Structure 1
Amino acid sequence: MTKDTKQTRRRFLKATGGVAAGAALAGCSSGSGDGSGNNSSGGGGGNNSGGGNTSAGTQSGGNQSAGQQTQSIEGDPSQTLQLINDTITTFDPIAATDTASGTVIQNVFDSLMNYPNANTSVKPQLASDFSVSDDNTTYTFQLKDAKFHNGKSVTAQDFIYAWERLAASSNSQRAYFILDSVNVQHETTTQDGSEVYQPNSLALNAPDDSTLEVTLESPFHSTLEMFAYTSFAALPEGIVGDIEGYDGEMSYKQFSSQNPIGAGPFQFDSYQSGTSVDVTRFDDYHDGRASIAGIHWQVISQASSQYQYFIGKNADAAQPGMPTSQYDPGKVNVQRGPDEQGRTFGTYGPLENGATVQYMSVPTINTYYVGFNMAKVPKPVRQAFAYVANQQQVTEQVFKGRGEPAYHLTPPGIYPGGSKAYDQHAKQNYPYGYNQTQVPQATKVMEDAGYSSNNTYSLQWTQYESDTWLSLGKLFRDQLQAAHIDMQIQQADFSTLLERGRNGQLEVYPLGWIADWPAPDNFVQLLNPPQTDTSQSDPISYLNWTGENGDAAQQATNAYKRISNNQAPTDQAGQARDKAYVAMEEANWEDVGFLNLYHQVEERFTYNWVEYPPMGAMGPSRDMKNDVKIASQRN
């Protein structure tokens, strides 16, 4: 049968998230938010996995590019870029949900579209041109003359194979991207009582080798942005045999961990699990040879060790590598900015090794929050958390000012009406005190619910292992004691945290979300009550939000339906979505499923022998390295 309802085969995706000693969930992040870039999803990160649409900052080279340099570096193409990365899980674009993996994949694989220098405006990558039908359901792409790393030409059939893997492979962690979000037309069948994808039914057509036709079930306003995600990257047809009709030229293990083949600016060289990854320049790259010979990522998971590696001048850039515990805001010297994207440029230092490094910052599309299992934590307790939380205090004291206070799940850069509308709505409507700690109100709401000094409420805060999150947990614990709440703090590794969340075992936990694509849908989907049920497979979040534990659950459900029913790229549909986005934010305020705290500003610290093009709001996992320049001498 033809698909006529939204797929529910969602997956909660891991992405290490833009933060030292932290991690992120695809789109979603559980990182410490301390600005060292361990990241949705990214993510991709994620991994799993990206804001004003601006193309500024896409140049490379010169004073404009480096921001704080007095002259451009004359790059030496024989130099290899030395970087730090976190634990890598896979090099398969459809399986990666962590930004550590996604950072490598972004440089090895190319897609139809791309976010140049991580800016939010997408541009063609493997596509040379494209057109869209009048009803916004059929996209026709003309492909560039490009080659894979194995010498094979990139064809439309390669994309059809790659996207069939995305939809049908048991290795895919992003099937909902193509079946639900973009909603490529396809058929479904019933399996074990559930509606699932019918293999080989995607509405994809290749009239010739250089033409790809894609038909959607209904219009989607962020189609091109989604096609820039590396899950949609081109793969040589038949490279692995994990879908019907293909035996595979190599084993899945070989492809995913030993010999990934893409069409990106760098080709895979070697991987030492838990130690390092190396890629080298692909000389036949369709967009011209990279300015460097390759990239070496040293895999280091602990934030303090990342920092020491950078201080030892073993890495050209600290991203990740500047944990909040080592960060001193007094060492930032802003020399230019903010520009139209909010970016600042200058220097940072001196470091412990005596060097002063180049500095840039950019507001990226993310939100860090405290989440509640609403089935386990009563509403008065959740409201007490909200009353004691002072987002400004958290941002300044816990995260040392490396971001902005968060009152909405949707970040300012993609909030309906932009950052001014974001601030106005929060200042006028936030019900728990704008930039205030309100312990008396927290105490009152708990006492009205029957709690007292002789009848306290006990709960457990579970967090990813992070000194920054630990500081945040202790702050809440101390403030909530006066409101008759006894909170215990437990640290767990990231995978354990996610497993407990999926199983409905968490009570209160700090996480975050980083953009898969730069639109509010990607964030507020976490608040859609039917998708938060941890008794179902693959919940999108761990809220367990129902009418039994939240007065506004139906409001949120209805608002998300309006979003789903108005996906077209038209002004009328956009206005309907905008109203529904705000309705979902206000429903979350009412029931406090997520207590939003902080929007991270991504920072990059680089030694003076390196010249990076400025980075945009999609963040480091979308930031390709082929235009980086390195001087002949590192000193």
Structure 2
Amino acid sequence: MTDTDNLTRRRFLKATGGAATAAALAGCTGDGDGDGNGNGNSSGKTLQLINSTMTTLDPVKATDTASGTVIQQIFDPLMNYPNAEIAVENLLVENHEVSDDQRTYTFKLKEGVKFHNGDEVTASDVVYSWRRLAESTNSRRSYFILDSIGVEHETTTKTYTNEDGEEEELTVAKTNSLSLEATGDYELEMTLVEPFHSTLEMLAYTSFAVIPEGIIGDIEGYDGKVKHGQFATKEPVGAGPFKFKSWTSDDSAEVTKYKNYHGEKAKVDGIHWMISSDADAQHTYGFINKNADILYAGNLPTSKYSQDKVKDTSTDDQGRIVGKYGSTAGGATMDYLGVSTISSYYMGFNTEAVPKAVRQACAYLMNQERLVNDVFKGRGEASHHFTPPMIYPGGANKYKSHAENNYPYGYNESQLEKAEQVLKDAGYGPGNESFSFTFTVYQSSTTWPKVGNILRDQLKSVNVNMEVNNAPFNTLLSRGRNGNLEAYSLGWVMDWPAPDNFLGLLYPPLTDTSKSSPQSYTNWSGTDAANQATSAWEKIQSNRGPTDEAQSARNEAYVTMEEANWEDVVFLPTYHNLEERFSYEWVDVPKYGGAGYSRQMYNNVEIGERK
């Protein structure tokens, strides 16, 4: 969900780069006086980074990338995406076994792993942590364990007060009903309703991070040692490579090396994040004053980015672009990494508010490749599917060939005459009745308004009036949930690397804004295409297992959902993000993979002498 901005989202992850979607001190430039934040005069042992506004350090409550980036350093789950590559590896577990029916998982934990408070990590801590994910009203990811993985459970409904001060209902697991049991000090057993093909990948998500049993009293059976707010902002305790030091909202956050870490111990003494929601201030802080060691696309606004400065590039075996960027506004040439992450950005339509003919006209007029080049300055890839290329059935080549041969609205071209014709057939367009609607983009984006303005001007030529409006990201989501958006810009960044993580947003029954917590805001129902998408999604859910047969059935249904979306133009695919990293020559940092930079742990980063 983003161009080069950072977005926060409730079920939408915050992301940066040119693809997820709105979401990221004026004058905070550093003075180089030796305080560790300025012009290379720090000790050289603290990694200096930039982050956007954080919301919480509670793993089960965080839904934004800014919070997740820090949580990734403090807490460990059972599994991990090493350097954000999408092949998971063991982290807190020594090994695991799966039953013949692929429903029961038995995990054997590493012994002797210590939390930051000195307590040993045991199976009971895992059970408690996952119960919180499933049962607590503080959890915003209960569906991960209850629905996505599908651990056996009973459900109930609880009422809680959301961040807007409104009462909202939340479906959670009944107390202690999860089919999850500590069968020994270091062994636990988990049973699913049915096999699920991405169980281990899901368990690598930070929502499944392990915290000490009973530390928070927000599920039945525990009084808690600290209040939730205290844990989430001032005293988070995990078992990760760094332990919490401080967090001042909209100012800074800091963690320090955990010397008793069970894995590879950090090569730096700590990490300091300057926190800012202003991309220009981030640019000044990191690129002009060199106060950050590693920077990302969200720290370099598109207006200040030059594609011509990316040079000396090569492509590695994972398709990552490796090269140099410079010179920057601060006169440096930096190491450059470009990674096509698993993400999709799109224009969504409330199908009850915008007629199909108008939606199709938008698709005929949009030239995705030109937008990526002209608006995003090449920081992305034109999209024609909602599923990203890396996880599309059959891979990137199948993605491209299917789009080239089947996309009905012109593959990377604008088709004015066809837009006019589809409107004319519906009684709109030149010489007929005009139609007006509003396209709402997130306020902090610098690129989506330009996309909107280009499309607005194209639509004028066919007698359709589109107003481009902007709103704070949380306001946009609130309006969407209430059915008060006609068209909007959003994006999705992977929770796990499979198409169903994306295409679930297009399942028509969960797009109904008259019901609580819709997954998207499209009110898609009653058409042949909506019925096809519904049947396809149900086929996916009936073939969730890890077998080749189930995978084949899912692949066919994934493509059916993509084509149903094309037919009704519910989501108009726009681009997939090229996530970029810029690091100074004194930093040695491993390349990250398709899961994105926020999934990378920094314990293997080394810093030399700053210049």
Give CA deviations for 1:218-273 in whole Å, capped at 9, x if unaligned. 10000000000011110100000000000000011100111110000000000111
Q: Is the CA contact 1:515–1:523 (under 8 Å) kept in the aligned structure 2?
A: yes
Provide closer, same or farther for how the CA distance between residues 35 and 317 of structure 1 changes in structure 2, counting only shifts above 3 A. Answer: farther
Tell me which residue corresponds to 2:12: 28
Task: Find out whether 1:150 has 2:129 as its counterpart.
Answer: no
**Cα shift at 1:188:** 3.1
Aligned-partner Cα distance in 2 for 1:555–1:26: 28
Tell me which residue corresponds to 1:208: 184
Tell me which residue corresponds to 2:597: 620
What are the within-5 Å matches in structure 2 for residues 432-581 of structure 1? Answer: 432-453=409-430, 455-465=433-443, 466-547=445-526, 550-581=527-558
Tell me which residue corresponds to 2:147: 180
Q: Is the CA contact 1:167–1:178 (under 8 Å) kept in the aligned structure 2?
A: yes
Aligned-partner Cα distance in 2 for 1:140–1:29: 30
Aligned-partner Cα distance in 1 for 2:141–2:156: 19
State the superposition RMSD in angstroms.
1.9
Q: Secondary structure at the match of 2:56?
A: coil
**Cα shift at 1:196:** 5.5
Tell me which residue corresponds to 2:306: 328
Give CA deviations for 1:475-497 in whole Å, capped at 9, x if unaligned. 10011111211111111111101
Tell me which residue corresponds to 1:255: 231
Tell me which residue corresponds to 1:137: 103
Aligned-partner Cα distance in 2 for 1:539–1:195: 13
Comparing 389-398 with 191-200, greater Cα deviation is found at 191-200
Provide closer, same or farther for how the CA distance between residues 225 and 497 of structure 1 changes in structure 2, counting only shifts above 3 A. Answer: same
Tell me which residue corresponds to 1:87: 53
Q: Tell me which amino acid in the other structure corresponds to 1:584.
A: M
Provide closer, same or farther for how the CA distance between residues 190 and 392 of structure 1 changes in structure 2, counting only shifts above 3 A. Answer: closer
Q: Tell me which amino acid in the other structure corresponds to 2:425.
A: D
Provide closer, same or farther for how the CA distance between residues 190 and 325 of structure 1 changes in structure 2, counting only shifts above 3 A. Answer: closer
**Cα shift at 1:594:** 0.2
What are the within-5 Å matches in structure 2 for residues 92-103 of structure 1? Answer: 92-103=58-69
Q: Secondary structure at the match of 1:351?
A: coil
**Cα shift at 1:598:** 0.4
Provide closer, same or farther for how the CA distance between residues 119 and 326 of structure 1 changes in structure 2, counting only shifts above 3 A. Answer: same
Aligned-partner Cα distance in 2 for 1:21–1:164: 34
Q: Tell me which amino acid in the other structure corresponds to 1:284.
A: N
Aligned-partner Cα distance in 2 for 1:37–1:623: 20
Give CA deviations for 1:66-89 in whole Å, capped at 9, x if unaligned. xxxxxxxxxx99610100000100
Q: Is the CA contact 1:18–1:24 (under 8 Å) kept in the aligned structure 2?
A: no
Provide closer, same or farther for how the CA distance between residues 21 and 189 of structure 1 changes in structure 2, counting only shifts above 3 A. Answer: closer
Aligned-partner Cα distance in 1 for 2:333–2:241: 31
Aligned-partner Cα distance in 2 for 1:332–1:507: 38
Provide closer, same or farther for how the CA distance between residues 38 and 343 of structure 1 changes in structure 2, counting only shifts above 3 A. Answer: farther
Structure 2 regions of 5+ residues with no counterpart? Answer: 25-41, 160-168
Q: Tell me which amino acid in the other structure corresponds to 2:389.
A: P
Aligned-partner Cα distance in 1 for 2:334–2:211: 39
Aligned-partner Cα distance in 2 for 1:443–1:27: 36
Give CA deviations for 1:335-377 in whole Å, capped at 9, x if unaligned. 43x1221112111000112111110111100011000011111
Identity %: 53
Provide closer, same or farther for how the CA distance between residues 329 and 101 of structure 1 changes in structure 2, counting only shifts above 3 A. Answer: same
Q: Tell me which amino acid in the other structure corresponds to 2:529.
A: A
Q: Secondary structure at the match of 2:528?
A: coil
Q: Is the CA contact 1:372–1:543 (under 8 Å) kept in the aligned structure 2?
A: yes
Aligned-partner Cα distance in 2 for 1:190–1:126: 32
Q: Is the CA contact 1:84–1:300 (under 8 Å) kept in the aligned structure 2?
A: yes
Q: Tell me which amino acid in the other structure corresponds to 1:431.
A: P
Q: Is the CA contact 2:361–2:422 (under 8 Å) kept in the aligned structure 1?
A: yes
Provide closer, same or farther for how the CA distance between residues 537 and 345 of structure 1 changes in structure 2, counting only shifts above 3 A. Answer: same
Structure 1 regions of 5+ residues with no counterpart? Answer: 1-16, 41-75
Aligned-partner Cα distance in 2 for 1:386–1:471: 17
Q: Tell me which amino acid in the other structure corresponds to 2:478.
A: E
Tell me which residue corresponds to 1:301: 277
Aligned-partner Cα distance in 2 for 1:166–1:195: 12
Q: Secondary structure at the match of 2:461?
A: helix
Aligned-partner Cα distance in 2 for 1:143–1:395: 46
Provide closer, same or farther for how the CA distance between residues 303 and 269 of structure 1 changes in structure 2, counting only shifts above 3 A. Answer: same
User: Of residues 71, 76, 79 in structure 2, which corresponds to 1:110?
Assistant: 76
Q: Secondary structure at the match of 2:243?
A: strand
Provide closer, same or farther for how the CA distance between residues 612 and 191 of structure 1 changes in structure 2, counting only shifts above 3 A. Answer: closer
Q: Tell me which amino acid in the other structure corresponds to 2:237.
A: I
Q: Is the CA contact 2:106–2:187 (under 8 Å) kept in the aligned structure 1?
A: yes
What are the within-5 Å matches in structure 2 for residues 239-278 of structure 1? Answer: 239-278=215-254
Q: Is the CA contact 2:142–2:172 (under 8 Å) kept in the aligned structure 1?
A: no
Provide closer, same or farther for how the CA distance between residues 217 and 440 of structure 1 changes in structure 2, counting only shifts above 3 A. Answer: same
Tell me which residue corresponds to 1:316: 293
